[in-house]
Each structure stands twice: as C-alpha cells, then as structure tokens.
Chain A
C-alpha cells in the first residue's frame, strides 16, 4: 500500500478523524511518519485501526481492547452458548481470504459437535 495522507486514511478505514487521533494518542495506532507537515500513514496504520474497530464492535471497552491486543493468548469471541472462538490479534482485520478459514472452521466445528459418527474412519 502506498503512503496515505490523513484524509485518505479516514476514507480507507471509514472511521472518524477524531477517533483516529484518539487511537494514536492512546497508543493503539502508531504515530504517522514524516512529522506534522508531511504526515503519512501506511498498512500498519490501516490494520491497527481496523483491528481496533473490529474489537470495538462487540462492545469491548478501550481497557479490554488494550489488554487483549497486548496479550498473546488471543481474543475470545463468544459464538453460541458453550462455544468461544479465540482469534490471534494479528489476524483481526488483516486476512484477505476469509472464506477458506471459514470453511475449515465450520468443518472442524461440525466434526467436533455433531452427534452422528462420521463414516470415514
């Protein structure tokens, strides 16, 4: 990704300028390179903003998001009662081919939770 200006970063991520300033101030997003006059943003900024916004969606407060991103244990996401998906922070908002992961996950869940025994043994 080429270097982005601030307004291009706003358009790319779909978040508000104030929210981006907040994320930079709080350390969730790295500061721009190039100083005030030539401030530019790159892939790492876009990924960090998307990751934060994905975690904000389910209702995690800033302190919890900080804790989850800092820990290496992964982000637990409740799917249904009794089933929680744990996702590595680096993958959040940063995967191009999600459908392949979805297929594998669905197959694994089906294999683990179904009552019927598979014929293939």
Chain B
C-alpha cells in the first residue's frame, strides 16, 4: 500500500482552499455588428484575445448554444495580422486532421458544432505576445412581435446550460467574472432599432454608429419599420421574383433569384422565411425572402448569410444535389460539417502547443452601470487567480503562412541556384540537352513537392490553375520553326512574326508565376519553383527558335 492509500479524514479535503489550475485566457474586447434584413439578421462577432504566456498555445473557445434556426456559416481567424479562413469539411475528418496537425506542430484552426448546438473554436499555434482576432458570421430570424415590431436577442457572455454541462472539460464553456470592453453597431434601412436590457436606459440606436455594451448582460434590440413600411414581407411570395433561392439543380452557382417555378409551394412556417417549391420536373427549391425590394445593392452585403440560411431549409434529398451538398456549398456549420484550416509544416516552432481555455463573461453577474466603451474597467476578480505577467520574448520577424522554416529561410532557396548552375554547366560542356533538361525538370519537381500547399487550403483548391504555367513552354515549342515546318512546309518570312511571338512567350513565362502567387495565397514557394521550371524551358525553346531563325545562324 503506497502513501497515497493512507486515509486520514474524508472531510478534510472539503475544507481546503481551491487549488489554482491553469487560468483561462480572457478576451481583450469584442465587437458585434448586426446587419438587419428583416426577417433575418446577420451577426458578425469579432472577439480579440492575446496569448499572454511565454509558450505556443492552442486556444479553445466554447460559445453558448446557438438559437433554434440560427445558422453559422463563416470563420475568419486573424493571427498577428495574417488572415486564416476555415473551409468546410466533414466533421470527423476535420477533427482528425486538426488533431494530427497539432501533434505535428502545425497551425490548425477548427470551428465545429458540438452536439449540433454548441459552437467551439480551437486555434492551435498562437505564438507568445500575439493578438488573435476571431471573426464569426451567423444569421438568424428575428422574433416577430405584435404590432408590426420584431426583437433580436444577442448574448456575448454565457450562463449555465444543461446541454453544455454534459461536455467534457476540454470542450465545456468557461466563464469568468472579469469584464472586457464590448461594442455594438447596427446597420439597417428604414428601421428604428432600440436597445434595451443594458444597465443604462433604453435608447434608439444611431444606425452604423458603435455603442458600448455590457458583455455580461443580454442585448435586446427592438425593431420597428419606418417610412410607412412594414416588417411583414409575406407579400414576397415564393412563386414571384424576390427571394434568395437554393435549388437541387447543379450549376456553377446554386443560389440565385428564383424564376417562376410554376410548381407547388409548401411551407411549414407562417413567417415566410422558408418556402419550398417542387416543380413539375422534380426540382426542389427553397427560398429565403429578401428584406428589400429586390435591389442588388441591398442584398449584396448579406447575400452569403441568406444563402446559408436558405441552404438549411433544403432538407429534401433531391437529385443530383443532396441536402448535405447544398449545406457544404453554402459553408454552413452543422453536426456533420466543420470549418477547418491546416497550416503548412515548418511554419511554427517545433513545439507542442499548450491547450488554454478561453473564458466568456459570466452572464449571471449583474452590473449596476456600464461606462462608455473606452472607459470600461474590469470588475475585481471573484474566484479566478489573476494570470501572472511573464517575460515575453521579443518577436523579431513575423512568420507568414505558407513559408518554410523561418530560422533557415535563406537555405530553402539554395537548391535552386545550384540546379540552375548545374544546367548551365551541362550546356557549357556540350552534354546532351534533352537528358540535362529532363534531370533538371525532375530535380525541380522534387524541390517543389516540399512546398506543396496543405490539404484544405485555398491554394490547394486552386492548384489546378498551375496548369497555366505549362502554356508558355508548350506554346513556345508549338510556335517554333520545327513544328511549323512539319505542319506547313512553308518557312518564308516566318521570322517576322515568330521571333516576337517567342519573345512574348518568354515574357508571359516571367509574368505568369507572379500572377499565380497572388491567386494562390500561401503557396509562394511552390508557385515560384514551378514557375522557374517554366521560365527555363520557355527561354531555352525561345532562344533555340530565335537562333534558328536568325540570318547566318
């Protein structure tokens, strides 16, 4: 029996002061922007926090359960000024790739819906002293009230929730009595919005102006139509033009203004948020109504939100697009679909990040007054140990996504001049050109493979664009003297156009990699290495053509 099995007093433990664990991170501030397009509201929440430890961390933020009919559809994480977008992927696969990436020391971001209701954001690979901005987009219907008014509730903090209590401690919501600055901005057209529920008197909001709010108190917005308009949009029937539509037809963009479907309309709701249309040909359409009179400039800012909202109404498994396809295309976060970003290897230091929970303001602590935004002061702590200020290392140079190992960055390019020098030497020594070029091409491709963009990234999805790099050398070859002679047998005056054409191809080969670097963010090394291969091949082919066509050659 070890020393720990000796029992002294079963009650003694209960009289000890609580042991302090790792304190949760707290938010620096939060900004909420509400775009009202009644009957829908698009909510953009910006939450900022700083890694105030001296270690690489994984920050885990669990948000309160979403409201019924609320749809989450976009995540952007800004770490040290660099943007990372989550892309949709099956939830199980996203979680697995996220876990593997963390174990490999890569930057990894996951936005998932636990139990279908509780959003969780995990951001691994946050360096010391770095501020992180988490931006989430959601859309939800406003609550219809009597008298042509509506209401929208927003909560920045979190209270106790039975479903959240069943989560594991790594996934559970963590709250703190500490307060952070928070502000609200509402944009709407021909609407009067009154804020209430705050520790200051109810007031009518100035549209597009920020107002300080209390992060631990629910925000209540009462909405009323102005200029003789009505909040009731039921006149916008789904069989008329005037809604945002998702359809079972597969097309380049599946979301569009509805045309007259000439079909059967059904809806299980009385607020006309969803309208399901079945056409005679079996096509299923779901329409979310427009908040405006069909003006594109009014729809554009919230189009993605409306698209996501309409997609969630598409529950019927019509062919060829299933409900899951539609939700995935609309970037909608569901029990089966998560948003994920996996950074490239070598971007971060070789270190396992330390998991830190991020705390939300506790909703059950009442406040008596809320100062304006800049004067917000944190409430004295009640139960949480204050985090100690560590000696933070000075960050000398930011690491960009897609870059290789930063500490020996210059080494990554050493192979390229070495290979080019080998090729030039082979040419100088009159070694067979074809074999030399083949060896050079294989070596360059092997170098390029090291910089291949990670799965799930924007660059990986756009990698088919790299085929464009092959166009200049192919065109240079096909537009050269030999194929021309074989095809036409006429070599008269071809130098007049062929030499400028070959020069043009050389310039194209130089410019294309630069354009593709912009089109494929995060794959700079990959594009430039492949671009170099295209440039060398094009230059050789162009030089051969020009020399052949030059008089006396």
Contacts and interface: CB of A to CB of B under 8 A. Distances in A.
| Physical interaction between A and B | yes
Interface of A: 6, 15-19, 21-27, 36-37, 39, 56, 61-63, 66-68, 70-74, 76, 84, 86, 88-91
B10 A73 contact: yes
A39 B60 contact: no
B5 A18 contact: no
Contacts, number: 96
Nearest to A18: B170
A36 B105 contact: yes
Q: Does more than half of chain A's interface fall in helix, strand or loop, or is it mixed? A: helix
Interface in B16-37: 16, 18-19, 21-22
Given A25-B22, A67-B18, 4 more contacts: A18-B122, A22-B170, A70-B19, A72-B7
30 contacts: A16-B170, A17-B99, A18-B99, A21-B170, A22-B60, A22-B168, A22-B357, A25-B356, A26-B22, A36-B105, A36-B350, A39-B103, A62-B21, A62-B169, A63-B18, A63-B21, A67-B16, A67-B18, A68-B13, A70-B19, A71-B13, A71-B16, A72-B6, A72-B8, A73-B13, A86-B7, A86-B10, A88-B6, A88-B7, A90-B2
Contacts of B102: 17, 21
Nearest to B96: A17
B168 A16 contact: yes
B481 to A, nearest CB: 55
A27 to B, nearest CB: 7
Contacts of A84: 10
Contacts of A39: 103, 352
Contacts of B253: none
A30 B369 CA distance: 45
Contacts of B351: 36
Given A16-B170, A18-B122, A56-B168, A36 B352 contact: yes
Nearest to A53: B168
B12 A73 contact: yes
Contacts of A15: 168
A73 B18 contact: no
B4 interface: yes
What range describes how many residues of B lie at the interface? Answer: 35 or more
Contacts of A70: 19
A113 to B, nearest CB: 18
B355 A18 contact: yes
Contact of A56 (B4, B11, B169, B352): B169
A16 B92 CA distance: 12
B148 interface: no
A70 B351 CA distance: 29
B111 to A, nearest CB: 14
A23 B354 CA distance: 10
A85 to B, nearest CB: 10
A88 B5 contact: yes
A81 to B, nearest CB: 16
B3 interface: yes
Contacts of B21: 26-27, 62-63, 66
Contacts of A27: 21-22
Contacts of B8: 72-73
Contacts of A23: 170
B355 A21 contact: yes
Contacts of B3: 72
B7 A73 contact: yes
A40 to B, nearest CB: 12
B170 A19 contact: yes
B171 interface: yes
Nearest to A20: B170
B15 to A, nearest CB: 10
Nearest to B104: A36
B9 interface: yes
B58 interface: yes
Contacts of A89: 4
Contacts of A37: 350
A24 B57 CA distance: 13
Interface in B62-103: 99, 102-103
A72 B4 contact: yes
B20 to A, nearest CB: 9
A91 to B, nearest CB: 7
Contacts of A17: 99, 102-103
Nearest to B5: A88
B206 to A, nearest CB: 43
